[in-house]
């Protein structure tokens, strides 16, 4: 395999990533399922964290393969910001987020409010008392709480729900949408 010395990535992966950035077609809700089943040449995650000030705009899947180095960056980005604990984020959650983002037809990134949440922090912050689950998927790297300035909670939830791949919670009073790769279910809080 021909490797690029400056990035440490195989040349064919770099070429796919560069080609992917040139694509601009936005799918419709009817295409949501195919987005998660290998349609297209790449999957991109656009997200920022108001808590850490970090921004991530990365292609994490290209031509049928997850890119390990990018997944490691995503794991770090989704870390528990309370104690900087890093955990592997389930790629299925990333896939739902990427597909929902495409369906929302915007360049604006998601704002990540909560990705991985360590069990210790989850217990000490009393997340249950505020309506959260006692054993949330956040503690196993399978969930994200997100929002967008240009889209409301219902719009983000509709896009994520159109993927038919996991749980979607609408937290309208707190202005965020919960997305996870667990069983398919929808709820309002």
Hey, how many other C-beta atoms are within 10 angstroms of the C-beta on 17? 21
Q: Is 36 exposed, middle or buried (0-12, 13-18, 19+ CB in 10 A)?
A: middle
- Residue 122, classified by CB atoms within 10 Å of its CB into exposed (0-12), middle (13-18) or buried (19+), is buried
Q: What is the pLDDT of residues 77-124, one digit of tens each?
A: 999 999 999 999 999 999 999 999 999 999 999 999 999 999 888 877
Secondary structure of 44-100 as H, E, C letters: EEEEECCCCCCEEEEEEEECCEECHHHHHHHHHHCCECCCCECCCCCHHHHHHHHHH
Q: Which residue has the higher pLDDT, 20 or 87?
A: 87
Helix H or strand E segment including 145 = strand 143-147
Give residue 189's pLDDT. Answer: 86
> Sorting pLDDT into bands at 50, 70 and 90, what band is 26?
very low
pLDDT of residue 1: 47
Q: Give me the residue label for tokens 């970090």.
A: 54
Share of the chain above pLDDT 70, in %: 73
Taken as a whole, the chain contains a residue count of: 189
Say whether pTM exceeds 0.85. no
3-state helix, strand, coil in the chain (%, to 5): 35, 25, 40
């Amino acid at each position: 395999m021909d490797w690029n010395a400056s990035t440490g990535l195989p040349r064919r992966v770099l070429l796919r990533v560069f080609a992917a950035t040139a694509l601009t077609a936005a799918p419709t809700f009817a295409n949501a399922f195919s987005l998660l089943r290998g349609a297209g040449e790449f999957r991109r995650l656009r997200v920022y964290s108001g808590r850490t000030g970090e921004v991530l705009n990365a292609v994490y899947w290209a031509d049928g393969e997850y890119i390990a180095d990018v997944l490691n960056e995503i794991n770090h980005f989704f870390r528990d910001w309370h104690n900087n604990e890093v955990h592997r984020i389930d790629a299925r959650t990333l896939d739902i987020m990427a597909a929902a983002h495409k369906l929302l037809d915007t360049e604006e990134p998601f704002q990540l409010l909560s990705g991985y949440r360590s069990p210790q922090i989850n217990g000490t912050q009393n997340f249950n008392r505020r309506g959260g689950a006692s054993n949330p998927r956040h503690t196993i790297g399978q969930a994200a709480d997100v929002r967008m300035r240009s889209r409301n909670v219902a719009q983000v939830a509709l896009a994520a729900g159109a993927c038919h791949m996991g749980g979607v919670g609408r937290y309208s009073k707190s202005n965020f949408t919960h997305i996870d790769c667990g069983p398919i279910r929808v709820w309002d809080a």
